Amino acid sequence: MRRLALGSPRAAQVLEQAARGRSLWDDARRRLMRNKAAVAAMAVLGLLALAALVGPLLVGFGYDEVRKADVWLPPLAGGHLLGSDALGRDLLARLLMGLRVSLAIGLVATAVSLAIGVAWGATAGFAGGRTDEAMMRLVDVLYSLPFIFFVILLMVTFGSNLVLMFLAIGAVEWLTMSRIVRGQTLALKQKEFVEAARAAGLTHAAIIRRHIVPNLLGPVVVYATLTVPAVILAESFLSFLGLGVQPPMASLGGLIADGAQQMELAPWLLIFPSATMIVTLVSFNFIGDGLRDAIDPKDR
Amino acid sequence: MLRFIGRRLLVAIPTLLLVITLAFFMMRAAPGGPFDMDRKLSPQIERNVRARYGLDRPLGVQYLNYLAGVLRGDLGPSLKYKDKSVLQILQENAPVSLRLGGLAIGLASVTGVSLGVLAAARQNGGVDHLVMGVAVLGVCIPTFVTGPLLVLAFASKLGWLPGGGWNDGAWRNLVLPVVVLALPQVAVISRLTRAGMVEALRANYIRTARAKGLPEHRVIVRHALRAALLPLVSYLGPACAGLLTGSLVVERIFNLPGLGKFFVISALQRDYTVVMGMVIVYAGLILVLNLLADLLYAALDPRVRLT
């Protein structure tokens, strides 16, 4: 290596670079970008999300536009790229709308589970002792409930409404998140910087918010990525049973249920929604796996 | 050991009580009732019918009465199916679901373990990548996608198997539902088995077994597999919960007269007692299976002591 004269502008630059170093997140991003499956999945998912966002405006048919002349047209016939259904509605328009609804439910319900799970787990882990014991015992009990049945009862009780579905699914998914967060918090609270914060006179709430939660981000991000497909699955499951999103609004599960009933006459109504669902779920899983490999320092 | 079982059963009681309470009050909060029909009953008759089932009493009293009934092993009469008790309905429909679930878990274990062992034996080879690729797909593709697609292929197009119906449990009617129910579990089990095998094959006692000159298949089956199967036992509980959820969909797709199909219909019809009965059965099943998994784990792994 060529020696640099101390005090030269070039030396100062090198020193500054070395001092700045590479943050944990820079490292993680670099590792993630090297993972071909994860990068491909991100590209696919980006395209799907874009299509779901602006696609319905470009299709030229409304998702609930009934055309008596266009009943059960196969793909490419009559200007319907993916064909049409029993009411003459354009499948592409419905598919894009359904994707939009499913993705939205996935993101919102994940956000709900994230908020509850992180708050619950961080509080339990930080408080420790009796409080921790009681809070996690409740999580254990809730874990052993047959939750899907309660979600079904909930949908039956209050009718299928979207906000309630967000809340119900989010409320189910927070349990694992709270366990992960609690484990991490237990380890974090032994660290010197928490002790320093305590010595500086910060309140417990402030320590949790400013010091514990930011350091939990890694595993939380990974688990959240894996929660989104789980939520999309749960919503589709409910819609398939006829308890989720109600027609004429579309969701991936509802479209698959519709298609399954008419698959002998119009197989395209089953095949395209199924394929979209599979591609979406596989992409999320690849991204989740990639993120885990990138963020988990054990594999470095 | 006995103390462990006793304590677990003691914890199960408040859990069941919570399940019953939640389900009871949620069901009652639902708008409408079991006697809403297209043709309106005259107020007089409706009052009599409600009195007959004790639905005219205060909700709290009904709740306590129901709990007392459960303690006596009496789940009450169905509100929709005249002259049938909930127990009768459960007895008629549970065998279908149990047979389906039993066959599915059997198929999933055998296939999953075999695939996992194959993949681990040829780690990072073609077979390994193929099996793990299929496993990723298996986890991602839900039963309500595989079900209709397989029916479309094997029943509608090829005509090899019936596309639905129970037909007294004839094997041809069972093939598709069992396969659909088992697929997601095959994926998880093969992944768990592979992970366990890869770790076991690195252990020192495996090197010893090879050094003794044992043939490779014996090393794998007798020595490595035993250790690799342990994590599978603790997956038993979640697997059964997954099967229960799957059965709701599979029984609907294939039109099978099992518990899963009944649950959704009964909930929509506000058949309070039948819904309650099924929730209790499902919750009880999950609790018992989790306990069994823990006991089995302790029996297989001498390092685990139950206290």
**Residue A157 vs residue B148, higher pLDDT:** B148
Q: Inter-chain contact B26–A153, Cβ cutoff 8 Å?
A: yes
**What confidence category does residue B18 fall into, taking pLDDT thresholds of 50, 70 and 90?**
confident
Q: Please, how many CA atoms are within 13 Å of residue A5, restricted to the half-sphere of its CB?
A: 3
Alpha carbon separation from B46 to B42, B57, B173 (Å, rounded): 6, 14, 42
- The stretch B280-299 carries a mean pLDDT of 81
- B 210-249 near A (Cβ less than 8 A): 241, 244-245, 248-249
Asked if pLDDT for residue A198 goes beyond 80, the answer is yes
Asked if pLDDT for residue A25 goes beyond 80, the answer is no
**What confidence category does residue B137 fall into, taking pLDDT thresholds of 50, 70 and 90?**
confident
Tokens read off for A279: 């591609």
Q: Which of A178, A175, A145, A150 shows the shortest CA–CA distance to A164?
A: A150
Q: How many CB atoms lie within 10 A of CB A18?
A: 8
DSSP B304: -
Residue keyed to tokens 């040829």? B122
Measured in angstroms, the CA of B111 and the nearest CA of chain A are apart by 22
CB-neighbour burial class of residue A82 (10 A; exposed 0-12, middle 13-18, buried 19+):
buried
> What is the model's pLDDT at position A1?
44
What gap in Å lies between CA B276 and CA B157, rounded to an integer? 41
CB-neighbour burial class of residue B213 (10 A; exposed 0-12, middle 13-18, buried 19+):
exposed
> What is the model's pLDDT at position B133?
83
DSSP A208: I
Farthest CA pair distance, chain B: 87
pLDDT digits (tens, 9 = 90+) for A129-173: 888 888 888 887 777 777 777 788 887 777 767 777 777 787 778
Single-letter amino acid, residue A142: L
Q: Inter-chain contact A153–B248, Cβ cutoff 8 Å?
A: no
CB pairs under 8 A between A and B: 111
What gap in Å lies between CA B276 and CA A29, rounded to an integer? 50
User: Which residues have CB under 8 Å from A277's CB, separation 6+?
Assistant: A102, A232, A236, A252, A253, A256, B142, B145
pLDDT digits (tens, 9 = 90+) for A250-297: 888 888 888 888 877 888 888 888 889 989 988 988 888 888 877 765
Q: Which of B85, B75, B269, A233 shows the shortest CA–CA distance to B261?
A: B269
Closest-CA residue in chain A for B8?
Answer: A141
With contact defined as beta carbons under 8 Å apart, do B295 and B27 qualify? no
Give A90's strand partners.
Answer: A84
ipTM strictly over 0.85?
no
pLDDT digits (tens, 9 = 90+) for B153-196: 887 778 787 777 777 767 778 888 898 888 888 888 888 888 88
Residue keyed to tokens 């039963």? B143
pTM of the model: 0.79
User: Cα torsion for A152, A157, A161, A167, to the nearest 10°?
Assistant: -60
**Residue A99 vs residue B4, higher pLDDT:** A99
- The stretch B67-93 carries a mean pLDDT of 81
With contact defined as beta carbons under 8 Å apart, do B240 and B100 qualify? no
- The stretch B77-81 carries a mean pLDDT of 78
Tell me whether B283 touches chain A (CB under 8 Å): yes
User: Which residues have CB under 8 Å from B166's CB, separation 6+?
Assistant: B96, B173, B255, B256, B257
Give B85's strand partners.
Answer: B77
Residues of chain A in contact with residue B31, where contact means CB-CB under 8 angstroms, are: 157, 159
Residue keyed to tokens 């005090």? A7
Of residues A146, A156, A274, nearest to B244 (C-beta): A146
What gap in Å lies between CA A100 and CA A53, rounded to an integer? 7
**What confidence category does residue B107 fall into, taking pLDDT thresholds of 50, 70 and 90?**
very high
Which helix (DSSP H) or strand (DSSP E) does residue A241 occupy? none
Average model confidence (pLDDT) across chain A: 80
What gap in Å lies between CA B104 and CA B243, rounded to an integer? 8
